[in-house]
Amino acid sequence: MEVVPAKPYFFGDIGFWAERTDVHKAAAQGQVPELQRLIQSGASVNMVAVDSITPLHEACIQGQAQCVRLLLDAGAQVDARNVDGSTPLCDACAAGSLECVKLLLEHGATINPALTSRTTSPLHEACMGGGASFQLLSMSDETENVKSFAFLVSNMMPTRVYMRGLGLGLGLGLGYTCMCVFRGENATCAVCHYSPLPSLFIIIIIIHCSLIIGHALCSKVVMGEYSLRGNGMYGQGELALRSADSRPPVRVTSGNPDCVQLLITGGAHLEAYELYSGTPLHVACANEQVECAKALLKAGAKVNAARLHETALHHAARVKNVDLVEMLVEFGGNLYARDNLDKKPIDYTKPGCPTAACLQFYESTPLSLQQLSRVSLRTALGTRALEAVSKLSVPSRIIKYLSYC
């Protein structure tokens, strides 16, 4: 009898979404009447699909606030965890959905869930939005010529991509993603094995049959191939692809600094430490979320907190964001901190670029006594700074200065 080698096992072979219920689908797609009908007919709102994903997870990552309310009112578990330990609040923050975040908190969602090696806090997730490490991408159902979808990569950190309306039957299988790694003007598509980066694998495994079966066509989402119609490079807006095949526009939903502020007000741990990305401030700076970083710093986040000796200022220098650099230095960022590669922030810049010039200026021009006094006072007060400063019996002008207003 001839021995035939076993066929490689991929989830796509058996239907990755076989366990996904109608409640999951209605919640993800925002089909409120259908979801109401299913709930009234007795369908479970806590049924888990692959990776322990509940309908509430689905609704939150898609920012479907009405569905979130329906599910919560029907008894959905507000702190249900998926296989990576992420809660619906983590997903709502990742999607930048302020309304969903408010609903979850009103129903008692835990604002500081226990972290694992594969879990990020809701505050981390809120700080990721809009930069290169998380973008919620959706394409219309009419998209027919997209054979594959690529993760964006920034600082070797994969973007988590969630797809709406794109066929989910394409499957490479557990633990694989497609990454589009950019080197200069060239984009090289490669199938990379899954590594336990935070929440990379929460909702949908991005699958890539096309590469395996030889299709060359890959939907490349490349900076420079699209134009922005919105509020700035990393702000909310619509990115219109300038591609030859005239694909529909890809929408990018950025994180909401208001989500960050809401979490801070609710008592989120500012120094929550995630194994792969450090503190929320590290995440905000790595993703150029200036307003999120400012909210964290004003609330008392430690500006020189380190991960592998790397500070937020290292991240700001690496992404070449002058606004971030200036803000971090004003809050007391250490210009001379060295990371595990023995590099200072300025070592991550190119000579003559605006970021390098900014760092050189601060190295040669130390902060004034007035600025140093503000840094010292706020460092001593820590997370109590805003409240304590507002109660000082000093002119409002001084209070505004001490509060970085």
pLDDT at 117: 80
What does the domain layout of the chain look like in residue ranges? 11-110, 131-254, 368-405
Average pLDDT, integer, range 84-100 = 93
Distance CA 172, CA 153 (A): 19
Give the residue among 236, 238, 283, 278 at the shortest CA–CA distance from 260. 283
- At a CB cut-off of 8 Å and minimum separation 6, what does 284 contact? 127, 260, 292, 293, 296, 312
H-run or E-run covering 154: strand 153-154
Kindly state the DSSP code that residue 247 receives in the 8-state scheme.
P
Average pLDDT, integer, range 213-220 = 30
Distance CA 151, CA 395 (A): 51
Unique residue bearing structure tokens 């130390």: 366
3-class SS of residue 274? strand
pLDDT at 241: 38
pLDDT tens for 113-149 read 998 888 889 999 999 864 333 333 333 333 332 323 3
pTM: 0.69
pLDDT at 263: 97
Give the pLDDT band (50/70/90) at residue 361. Answer: very high
Q: What is the mean pLDDT of the chain?
A: 72
pLDDT at 284: 95
Least confident of 70-74, 79-83, 213-217: 213-217
Q: Calculate the CA 370 to chain-centre distance.
A: 36
**Greater confidence, 404 or 244?**
404
**How distant, in Å, are the alpha carbons of 6, 12, 41, 49 from that of 170?**
21, 6, 32, 18
Average pLDDT, integer, range 64-78 = 96
pLDDT at 202: 28
Distance CA 102, CA 7 (A): 47
Average pLDDT, integer, range 247-259 = 54
Q: What percent of the chain has pLDDT over 90?
A: 56
pLDDT at 280: 96
pLDDT at 115: 87
198, 203, 206, 209 alpha-carbon torsion, rounded to 10°: 140
Report whether CATH 1.25.60.10 matches the domain 11-110: no
pLDDT tens for 334-345 read 999 999 999 999
Average pLDDT, integer, range 245-265 = 64
Q: Is the pLDDT of residue 251 over 80?
A: no
Give the pLDDT band (50/70/90) at residue 84. Answer: confident
**Greater confidence, 168 or 275?**
275
3-class SS of residue 238? strand
Give the residue among 256, 302, 24 at the shortest CA–CA distance from 122. 256
pLDDT tens for 171-188 read 223 333 333 322 233 333
Q: Is the pLDDT of residue 232 over 80?
A: no
pLDDT tens for 13-67 read 333 444 689 999 999 999 999 999 999 999 999 999 888 899 999 999 999 999 9
Q: Looking at mean pLDDT, say which of 187-196, 204-213, 239-248, 297-306 comes out highest.
A: 297-306
Give the pLDDT band (50/70/90) at residue 207. Answer: very low
Q: Is the pLDDT of residue 229 over 50?
A: no
